[in-house]
Chain A
Amino acid sequence: MSEAFLSALRHTLPAEALVLDVERLRAFECDALSAYRALPMAVALPGSEEDVIAVLQLAHAHRIPVVARGAGTGLSGGATPTAGCLLLGMSRMRRLLYLDPLARYARVQPGVRNQAISEAAGHYGLYYAPDPSSQIACTIGGNVAENAGGIHCLKYGLTVHNLLGLRAVTMEGELLELGGTLDCNGYDLLALLTGSEGLLAVVTEVTVRLLPKPQLARVILASFAEVGHAADAVAQLVGSGATPAALEMMDGATVRAVEDFLHAGYPTDVAALLLCEADGTPEEVEADIVQMSRVLRAAGACELRVSDSEAERQQLWAGRKAAFPAAAKLAPDYYCMDGSIPRAAVGRVLAGITSLSAQYGLACINVFHAGDGNLHPLILFDANRAGELARAEQFGTDIAALCVSEGGAITGEHGVGIEKLDGMCAQFNAAELGQFSAIKAAFDPLGLLNPGKLIPTLHRCAEYGRMHVHRGQLPHPELPRF
């Protein structure tokens, strides 16, 4: 069966668009969730939408499972190959097709890097707002598949809020042309495809909205002697009239790790730091900084520093952006969680994590998108010590359960993939999971596209959740993680 398929594939794509030898296939055996690996049967590197259609039609005819992959920077195993699948590498489709500065949109192929869009748009005073930490490497196609977030989604939204249109191909090779205007015609399939983790269709073209770059941005660094005070400040900032462009939190342990790693100039005798950014016209920024400073002080901030130049703003952000690599120095291994909770619950959940940390005898540091209520607890452990891996996993399971019990979600921005399949059972009941399966079947009746991801079978409901980092060996160590 696979021999016949491979032979047909060789007639469909040129030799340089195929990877068949085991050595080169190794490069595709995992994404950034590197604990999970499998070799694909082959990798196809389509150069055009026509190639994608032809390859999918062929795979469908031969009943071969297909997994699409962008840059492989995803943290939840969304692009992990299914054993024996055809991996569809979208990296060759990396042309920026059209940019209209007056209409403020860009049409790009899925393999275009997130940051490359803002670089191209920058010539016109425009940018693409969603900024996941891997933005120098991650592709827009992957961003669509995962509904990627970033530091600035508090004010500017997630990927789904910043798309105008999509072209995508179903497993049967049918082309879907979605969106294009600010109103929807028919069902909002653009929203449904965004964040569908490559289970419904393969994205072949993305039309993104571009925004005018704010005239000015300034950031406040606020230090707190108590974590609870910083958490209160988050809730009060969100409740105030000003919307921070970004609102990030680091606990004391993270701050000290960052200082050891980078010497960013952060005060180290603190329990928590907040970075709160204002952007807009100079008048808006000035008013927001005054108001935000007032709220931060009232919540108990002991020290405030406000950036006075773009260089100083970048310097204050540098420490935050180095938090993950700095954390990797603290212990041989860590797990990165991705819980999402109401902002009012930040203090309670952080306190809950602290007591769980004592209970499990494992340190956990916190650096996260506080303004969105999107936690990234990093559980520190040593996999070489007997039982510690299992303890860390159980700790993570408890954190996820804590988020769900506060009305939150098991994943805010990293996706389910294979990593959080078990967590899906905590989040949804059997009817809801059945509904997801029915939607999947409406697009892909044979279940060939990215099988085994996102939707758990009903019998698996146990623990979940980890990005496993061993001895500081981050997958894609060149990327900032925040």
Chain B
Amino acid sequence: MLTDLQAQLRQAHAMSVPVRIVGAGSKQGWHAPQQGEALHVGSHVGIIDYAPAERVISARAGTRLAEIQAVLASQGQMLAAEPPDFGGHATLGGALATGWSGPRRPWAGAMRDQLLGVEILNGQGELMRFGGRVMKNVAGFDLTRLMVGANGTLGLITEAHLKVLPLPEVETVRVFELPQADAIALANRLCAAPWPLSGAAWQGGLLRIRLSGNAAAVATAQQQLGGEPDVERHWFARLQAMQLDSFAPPGAEQGLWRLSLPQTCPPLLADYPQLIDWAGGRRWLSAPLDAAHAINTSARSAGGHALLQRSQAGWPTAPRNPTLLALEARIRRALDPRQILNRRQGD
């Protein structure tokens, strides 16, 4: 399988033909369409090694996240970044390529923080390994973490080694009825104190605070924080899986944006419906596509950025710093000289 993938990439490189990397296709509709022949990674599957005592798991890129999470859970462990599994279909390779992390990210780290090593095929079909299965490794440039969030444009991830963490003994949610501004302020005040937090999200006038840890610590925190129990069951699980109503496909001429902002940023574009995660650091916003300019400008002037994440009518890109764009183009050519990997349609 690996040699097939390598042969296909070598040939595509030789002929300068674009290829688009396809895992399970679970995120179709969540990104702009790409050019070229499909390169199917979905059957390059399997957990290669899992040593619970080492807190490291290694798997091929086509392995379903759901399978990995189930195997980890059977040993009382988890992928602490909580990547969304898109109804159980998402693959490990796709989760790394997009780099999306779930509600636990501000406390347990992002997807890239859990990645210890990768095997990749670059745009010339060269097989390379960076990082490894050890916790600390500063040998060479960190091409391992660079792969996360690169959307497959720097190489095809074929195998990955991930750090895992123990599942918390207890998890509970407390709910506070608060307007957006007060919710952001309270969530950040809690973040600035040593509470056993693992989630802080606001939607529809309710701030949900998730507590994780051992039973005694969570019980004490719950008592001191107050709030109400959550009547909605598995709300954080649905947030992680991106199955809340906020994530539904937008209507025609509508878009779903992901705003990445400083966590303490006061309510921004509050006229549009929002789901706030990461104690304010990530905000999902539904708005008409023609509001793109206003959204990008607001996010940038607040010290963050906006990305259009779902749309049925085009994928306008936000303007970015030209110095960084030029540098990124050079980095891309360093790994994929003919830019055959996951080129956007129209590029």
Enumerate chain A interface residues (CB-CB to B < 8 A).
100-104, 124-126, 146-147, 149, 153-154, 157-158, 160-161, 170, 174-178, 180-189, 191-192, 194-196, 199-200, 212-215, 235-236, 238-243, 280-281, 283-284, 286-288, 340-344, 369, 372-374, 407-416, 420, 423-424, 427-429, 431-432, 435-436, 438-443, 454-455
Contacts and interface: CB of A to CB of B under 8 A. Distances in A.
Contact of B138 (A176, A280, A288, A415): A415
Contacts of A235: 53-54
A436 B141 contact: yes
A246 to B, nearest CB: 13
A190 to B, nearest CB: 9
B141 A196 contact: yes
Contacts of A194: 142
Contacts of B11: none
B281 A183 contact: yes
Contact of B193 (A125, A236, A412): A125
A181 B141 contact: no
A286 B215 CA distance: 12
B213 interface: yes
Nearest to A184: B149
A409 B136 contact: yes
B301 interface: no
Interface string B146-169: 101110001000000000011001
Given A103-B263, A185-B320, A281 B196 contact: yes
B329 to A, nearest CB: 9
Given A102-B189, A124-B192, A182-B263, A160 B214 contact: no
6 contacts: A160-B113, A182-B105, A187-B149, A343-B53, A435-B335, A439-B331
Contact of A435 (B262, B333, B334): B334
Interface in B65-116: 76, 99, 105-106, 109-110, 112-113
Contact of A181 (B112, B134, B262, B334): B262
Contacts of A104: 188, 191-192, 263
A188 B136 contact: no
B344 to A, nearest CB: 13
Most buried by B among A103, A191, A439: A191
A435 B132 CA distance: 17
Q: Which 9 pairs between the two chains have the least Cβ-Cβ distance?
A: A239-B53, A183-B260, A412-B136, A283-B216, A438-B334, A191-B145, A442-B330, A283-B217, A409-B137
B54 A241 contact: no
A287 B214 contact: yes
Interface in B209-225: 213-214, 216-217, 219-221
B305 to A, nearest CB: 4
Contacts of A180: 262, 303-304
B53 A344 contact: yes
B8 interface: no
B345 interface: no
Contacts of A288: 214
Contacts of A344: 51, 53-54
Contact of B140 (A238, A340, A436): A436
A442 B110 contact: no
Nearest to B122: A435
Interface string B259-296: 01111100000000000001001100000000000000
A435 B146 CA distance: 13
A80 B130 CA distance: 26
B136 A158 contact: yes
Given A182-B278, A189-B327, 5 more contacts: A103-B188, A180-B303, A183-B305, A440-B141, A442-B333
Contacts of B37: none
B154 A187 contact: yes
A181 B259 CA distance: 10
A286 B219 CA distance: 14
B154 A147 contact: no
A188 B140 contact: no
A427 B131 CA distance: 10
B151 to A, nearest CB: 9
A407 B139 contact: no
Contacts of B51: 342, 344
Most buried by A among B112, B132, B282: B132
A182 B328 contact: no
Contacts of A200: 141
Contacts of A176: 323-324, 327
B12 to A, nearest CB: 18
B305 A185 contact: yes
A182 B110 contact: yes
B129 interface: yes
B226 interface: no
Nearest to A435: B128
B192 A126 contact: yes
Given A182-B263, A191-B112, A340-B134, A428 B140 contact: yes
B220 A283 contact: yes
Contacts of A157: 109, 113
B198 to A, nearest CB: 13
A182 B140 contact: no
B32 to A, nearest CB: 14
A423 B328 CA distance: 29
Contact of A407 (B133, B165, B260, B320): B133
B54 A238 contact: yes
A378 B103 CA distance: 43
A242 B165 CA distance: 9
Nearest to B305: A185
B132 A409 contact: yes
B192 A435 contact: no
A239 B54 contact: yes
B281 A181 contact: yes
A175 B214 contact: no
Contacts of A343: 53-54, 135
A186 B132 CA distance: 24
B135 A374 contact: yes
B264 A284 contact: no
A191 B147 CA distance: 10
Contacts of A212: 191-195
Nearest to B281: A182
A294 to B, nearest CB: 14
